[in-house]
Amino acid sequence: MAPVCHRFCLIPFVSFTTLLLVLVNADDIFLEWQVNIDTTIKPVSVDQPVITINGMFPGPLINATTNDIIHVNVFNNMDEPLLITWNGIQQRLNSWQDGVSGTNCQIQPGLNWTYVFTLKDQIGTFSYFPSINFHKAGGAFGPIRVNNRVVIPVPFPKPHGEFDLLVGDWYNESFKVKSHTLTHYIV
């Protein structure tokens, strides 16, 4: 029979381990994105196609917590291939989820692809955007906000509010015209 001290010493250890598992447990976040071309949005007061996600320009905020697992099912409803990259998000042991040409196959028109990645040990503000065919100049970009877990203190006071500022270039010509011009100029 074990001494009484060992039984009582085991109780705090089991309680701490259980508490740690509850606090560190990550959530799975499932998103479904319909990527389309919209001709009614005029970011620079000029008629041109804008790439939207679920009808939004800029695209929707991904608001998550460090260690969460993100599942983004992207449906490409455009007339050309698409890739989305997750700027600043570390793709640990899964570079095939990074959304750049060479690590991912392009999402062909009328098809979908589900990106799955973990926001492992990161906090801060990041962004996503299309990575091929000059699509970034046509939209489909947006913010990623990765919050800290309660058990991870940050070295500054909690902000009074948060907002996301996305800065980019916009042209008077459509992204399709710019892409075509650059492709033929380079070649």
| pLDDT 10s digits, 69-123 | 999 999 999 999 999 999 888 887 777 677 778 888 899 999 999 999 999 888 8
pLDDT of residue 128: 94
pLDDT of residue 58: 92
pLDDT of residue 43: 82
Q: What is the DSSP letter of 59?
A: P
**pTM metric for this prediction:** 0.80
Q: Strand locations in the chain, DSSP E?
A: 28-38, 50-53, 62-65, 69-76, 84-87, 112-118, 124-130, 142-147
Q: Above 70 in pLDDT, residue 171?
A: yes
Q: How many helices (H) and strands (E) does the chain have?
A: 2, 8
pLDDT of residue 47: 83
- Tell me the percentage of the chain whose pLDDT exceeds 90: 41
Q: Above 60 in pLDDT, residue 172?
A: yes
pLDDT of residue 85: 92
93 vs 31 pLDDT, higher one: 31
pLDDT of residue 184: 76
pLDDT tier at 1, thresholds 50, 70, 90:
low
pLDDT of residue 13: 46
pLDDT of residue 107: 95
Choose from 61-65, 88-92, 98-102, 160-164 the range with maximum mean pLDDT: 61-65
Average pLDDT over residues 19-47: 81
- For the chain, list the domains and their CATH numbers: 26-152+160-186 (2.60.40.420)
For the record, the structure tokens of 55 come out as 């009808």
Residue 145 CA to residue 31 CA, distance in Å, equals 15
- Give the Cβ contact number of residue 84 at 10 Å: 27
Average pLDDT of the residues of the chain: 83
Nearest alpha-carbon partner for 27 in 63, 62, 69, 66: 69
